[in-house]
Amino acid sequence: MAWSKLKQQLESFLSPALHGRVEYLSTSYRYLPDKAGLCYMAADKKKVFNMSDSLIRWYQTELEIKNDSDIQIPISNDEIEAVRKDTKGSVPEDRLKVIARSRKISEHAKELMSAQASLSKSNFSVIATKFLSTSIEESIESNDILLNILALVDRRVGKKRILNMTEKMKLKHPIVQYFFELRLRTL
Q: For the whole prediction, is pTM greater than 0.85? A: no
Greatest Cα-to-Cα distance within the chain, rounded to the nearest angstrom: 67
The string of pLDDT tens digits covering residues 12-53 is 999 999 999 999 887 766 665 555 556 788 999 888 887 543
The string of pLDDT tens digits covering residues 81-108 is 999 999 888 889 889 988 998 999 888 8
Q: Which among 106, 123, 120 is positioned nearest to 3, based on CA atoms?
A: 123
pLDDT higher than 60, residue 63? yes
The string of pLDDT tens digits covering residues 143-174 is 888 899 999 999 999 999 999 999 889 888 88
In this prediction, residue 94 carries a pLDDT of 87
Going by their DSSP bridges, the two strands 38-43 and 46-49 should be labelled as: antiparallel
User: Residue 70 corresponds to which amino acid?
Assistant: D
- Regarding predicted confidence, which is higher, 59 or 8? 8
Lowest-confidence region among 6-15, 69-78, 115-124 = 115-124
